[in-house]
Structure 1
Amino acid sequence: MEDMSEAFVRALCAVHGYSIVKCNHDNDGLDIGIRCKDKPCEESIILSPEIEVQLKSSYSKITQQNDGSINYSLEVKNYKWLIEKKRMLPLILVVFHMPADEKDWIEQTSDWLKIKKCAYWISLKGREDTDNKESITINIPADHQLTKDSLKSIMIKISKQEEL
């Protein structure tokens, strides 16, 4: 299922010409890195900003809330990696919310390919540690849907050295 979240992110990166670096080993929760070429905007301070991404895919660990946000059950070990403040590059969690039935994951014709449902992103940097042993439920706001536009906004913020 993680391949679906990576395919989704790769499609968004392709729109902007961003490079993706695939990590061969899951070190500190890092699955892929995304790199922007040059400056994403005139006000950029950093050239070629980068972000690290932990990818998750699920249909069963996600609960849609009335306000449009989602609750996601995240393993504590992953949570602890994501809250760490002392990282060289920013790290975000991307959760791909997919249909339960595998036959509904993609649709395709000779004109288009549709990857079904959507992904959400969140930075957990600096959040409180937890005493939970197995998992922790995190809430991802509805306005944190990962789209081609929100991905560009994330890269612009990083290039301006702003917090996510």
Structure 2
Amino acid sequence: MEEEKRQRDEEMVARQGPRVYRLAFAQLRSKADAEDVFQEVFLRYVEKEPAFESQEHEKAWFLRVTLNCCRNVWRAPWHKRHVPLDESLPFETRDQWGLHQELLKLPPKYRVVLHLFYWEDLPAAEIGRITGAKPAAVRQRLKRARAMMKEILEEEGLQNV
């Protein structure tokens, strides 16, 4: 029985781990903080043992908990320090790394909707449920974020990325 639970937990880490780490890193910009959030998210999973209705519900739960843990890190008084970025990142290509660097220039509320929309392939309604915003607000943030990104990319001469 204990062995089955351990195996299920390991499968969940393998399935949701990359998504959790990618979002945590995108939000916190620190490998160490992203690893801390990763551990916290899966600790909460093991402690709460949530029952998921579907794969989408599972995905949404992990994304929501990850965002909540990231917010807790931002609120922590010790988080005022700055840590340089490490180049060994969870991106498949240098273009993705470059795009991520430009994405970091956006305010967090715009960065998170772009990340969830493009990297996690979520619709606006689901992003709204995860972030606590109305779908119309998510669509507006996406529109503004795209405009900001276009401006940033044009300034950098990277509009074809």
TM-score for the superposition, normalised by structure 2: 0.29
Between Structure 1 and Structure 2, whose CA radius of gyration is higher? 2
Kindly indicate whether structure 1 or structure 2 has the higher relative contact order, using CA contacts under 8 Å at least 6 residues apart.
1
Higher helix share: 2
Larger proportion of strand: 1
Could you state the TM-score of these two structures normalised by the residue count of structure 1? 0.28
